[in-house]
Amino acid sequence: MQVTVREGLIQQQAAELVVVNLFEGVTVPGGATGAVDRALGGAISERASAGDPLGKFCQMSMFYPRGAMPAARVLVVGLGKAETLTLDRLRQIAAAVARHVRAQGVVRYLSIVHGAGIAGFDPGQATQALVEGTLLGAYRFAGYGARPEEEPGELVELTLVTSDASALEAIREGAETGRIIAQATNYARDLVNQPANFMTPTDLAHAAESMARERNILCEVLGPGDMQELGMGALLGVAQGSNQEPRFIAMEYDGKPGIAPVIVVGKGITFDSGGISIKPSDGMDRMKDDMAGAAATLGVMRAVADLHLPIRVIGLVAATENLPSGKALKPGDVVKAMGGLTIEIISTDAEGRLILADALGYAARCEPAAVVDLATLTGGCVVALGTVAAGLMGSDQALVDALRDASQDTGELVWQLPLFERYAEQIKSDVADVKNSGGRAASAITAAKFLERFSEGYPWAHLDIAGLAWTNETEGYVPRGATGYGVRLLVEWLQKRALGA
Ligand code: BES
Ligand code: MN
Ligand code: ZN
């Protein structure tokens, strides 16, 4: 879908459909909607005055100008109460509009920038939110089946129209930023929505290589031999149960040479059966999403490169399947991670922290300024926080706070959980330095305590995204399926960091 920006008066545009808006409680609109209302002989204010809830949040009301304006249709979208409008609500509104327009069989439409006028949002930010919401809300995974005949075609073009020449530049920039971030998120969604037989560790590495090749990103892919040399015994241990070879992907975007890099680490379990500690078969198909952290890492790399951020970012992905077999890791086995620490395997289903241990060990060699890992790590985090917020933990409170700040603007919610030292008791082993499961109690925290052991020497934060990677119901700008959670959050954080540093 293309997004373009144009200066002009919305009521004078020839189009199949134009979008304007109305706040709840307003009966006589001002601004662009007011101009359209006058062109329509008061049709909008008439219905609003009669009590039609045109301004209700995400309410869709269609008007047919019948020659009174060059446009064939006018869609009035409700913005809700003025005091409740936020950037995140703007995204939700844009998503609802995009899907509504698409359902009419219309593929090209014009819109004003909601929230940029009287509502007083910064025009660049409002535009970014509008474009993000549109592209994110219109996302559909192509899949492998035939498309149902009755399903409407893809949207082709959104044109943003503004009468404010002084805001044109900010609107253009906001549109471009929004496009880049939304496309990077949809890219991550695509990777996660792929079935595991089309998204093996090798496939994931190929995806990273071609994404990197198209932009200014270095990409190195390691196989089992390299892992052996580096001493990645934990990643190799998880991988040994599968016929698919593991891959370790290291990407680097250098937008500011010479500074210490920021590292994003993603869990890339392309399918998690649990291994010998096998999961119940009900719902196991979902476990193709266990590489959502890896997908978000690729999405972040793609976005920071496309945005040309003045920052140095390294993306690390440990990728493998977790399957049972005659060669698989067994409960009670001991493996040695890259940094030299030994791990007793209690559950082969606690595989995410094993592969992350090696990735965090690899990160130490890059002398990072900060490391953030993203992982669908524990069912316990889903029990604690549901599908609303990701679990956020870390060894560096300034880093944790910076991520919380970024969360505010993106609507990708996080909630900090404590890393009290007493939780470490649960992962003490009799035969190794640490064990990989601390049982059911506080399992999101004990998993993070485990990771903490492997992230000594640099500021580190961890996002447990187990509840956020996937949604069964379309909600606002997040359609059913893979969510792409984490891309927008981390890009926002990196943008702020690039400005500050
Ligand atoms: N990938 C799972 C976590 C998960 C569970 C993600 C549900 C999404 C939905 C992870 O590898 C896992 O199996 N964790 C175990 C750890 C336990 C054995 C200590 C869990 O949380 O049950
Ligand atoms: Mn598991
Ligand atoms: Zn897993």
- What is the best residue among 273, 276, 349, 355 to mutate for testing ligand 1's pocket, by most ligand atoms within 8 Å of CB? 349
Query: Annotated catalytic, 365?
Result: no
Q: What is the mean pLDDT of residues 345-362?
A: 99
Amino acid symbol at 221: V
Query: What's the CATH code of the domain at 46?
Result: 3.40.220.10
Residue 276 and residue 393 share a domain? yes
Q: Does 167 fall in a domain?
A: no
Residues 100-142 have pLDDT tens digits of 999 999 999 999 999 997 668 999 999 999 999 999 999 999 9
Residue 142 and residue 234 share a domain? no
pLDDT at 147: 85
Does residue 349's CB lie within 6 angstroms of at least one atom of ligand 1? yes
Name the nearest CA neighbour of 41 among 64, 24, 14: 64
Neighbours of 164 (CB within 10 A): 14
Residue 370 and residue 283 share a domain? yes
Residues 398-457 have pLDDT tens digits of 999 999 999 998 999 999 999 999 999 999 999 999 999 999 999 999 999 999 999 999
- Whether the Cβ atoms of residue 201 and residue 320 lie closer than 8 Å to each other: yes
* Candidates 172, 256, 279, 496; catalytic one: 279
Residue 305 and residue 259 share a domain? yes
Residue 364 and residue 494 share a domain? yes
Residue 94 and residue 233 share a domain? no
Helix (H, G, I), strand (E, B) or coil at 41: coil
Q: Whole-angstrom distance between the N-terminal and C-terminal Cα of the chain?
A: 34
Name the nearest CA neighbour of 117 among 241, 213, 259, 22: 22
Query: Annotated catalytic, 435?
Result: no
**Rg, the chain, Cα only:** 24
pLDDT at 152: 87
Residue 139 and residue 213 share a domain? no
Residue 122 and residue 244 share a domain? no
Is the per-residue pLDDT at 44 higher than 80?
yes
Find the length of the chain.
501
Identify the band that residue 501 occupies on the pLDDT scale cut at 50, 70 and 90.
Answer: low
Q: Print the domain residue range for 19.
A: 2-162
Q: Any bridge partners for residue 263, and if so which?
A: 314, 371
Q: Does 176 fall in a domain?
A: no
Question: Which pTM does this prediction carry?
Answer: 0.98
Does residue 378's CB lie within 6 angstroms of at least one atom of ligand 1? yes
Residues 284-332 have pLDDT tens digits of 999 999 999 999 999 999 999 999 999 999 999 999 999 999 999 999 9
Is the per-residue pLDDT at 498 higher than 60?
yes
Q: Which residues surround ligand 3, an ion (CB under 5 A)?
A: 269, 272, 290, 352
Q: Does 177 fall in a domain?
A: no
Computed over every residue of the chain, the mean pLDDT equals 97
Q: Does 173 fall in a domain?
A: no
Residue 488 and residue 390 share a domain? yes
Atom of ligand 1 nearest to the CA of 274: 13
The gap from C-alpha 304 to its chain's centroid, in whole angstroms, comes to 13
Residue 484 and residue 438 share a domain? yes
Residue 407 and residue 369 share a domain? yes
Domains: count for the chain = 2
Q: What is the mean pLDDT of residues 461-475?
A: 98
Does residue 464's CB lie within 6 angstroms of at least one atom of ligand 1? no
* Domain stops at, among 131, 162, 193: 162
Task: Compute, in angstroms, the gap from residue 446 CA to the centroid of ligand 2.
Answer: 14
Q: Does 169 fall in a domain?
A: no
Task: Compute, in angstroms, the gap from residue 350 CA to the centroid of ligand 3.
Answer: 7
Identify the band that residue 151 occupies on the pLDDT scale cut at 50, 70 and 90.
Answer: confident
Residues 190-227 have pLDDT tens digits of 999 999 999 999 999 999 999 999 999 999 999 999 99
Q: Does 377 fall in a domain?
A: yes
Is the per-residue pLDDT at 385 higher than 80?
yes
Residue 212 and residue 113 share a domain? no
Identify the band that residue 391 occupies on the pLDDT scale cut at 50, 70 and 90.
Answer: very high
Query: What's the CATH code of the domain at 282?
Result: 3.40.630.10
Instruction: Tell me how far apart the alpha carbons of residues 360 and 294 are, in angstroms, rounded to a whole number.
Output: 14
* Domain stops at, among 162, 192, 227: 162
Task: Compute, in angstroms, the gap from residue 285 CA to the centroid of ligand 2.
Answer: 13
Does residue 382's CB lie within 6 angstroms of at least one atom of ligand 1? yes
Does residue 290's CB lie within 6 angstroms of at least one atom of ligand 1? yes
Is the per-residue pLDDT at 263 higher than 70?
yes
* Domain stops at, among 162, 197, 228: 162
Does residue 379's CB lie within 6 angstroms of at least one atom of ligand 1? yes
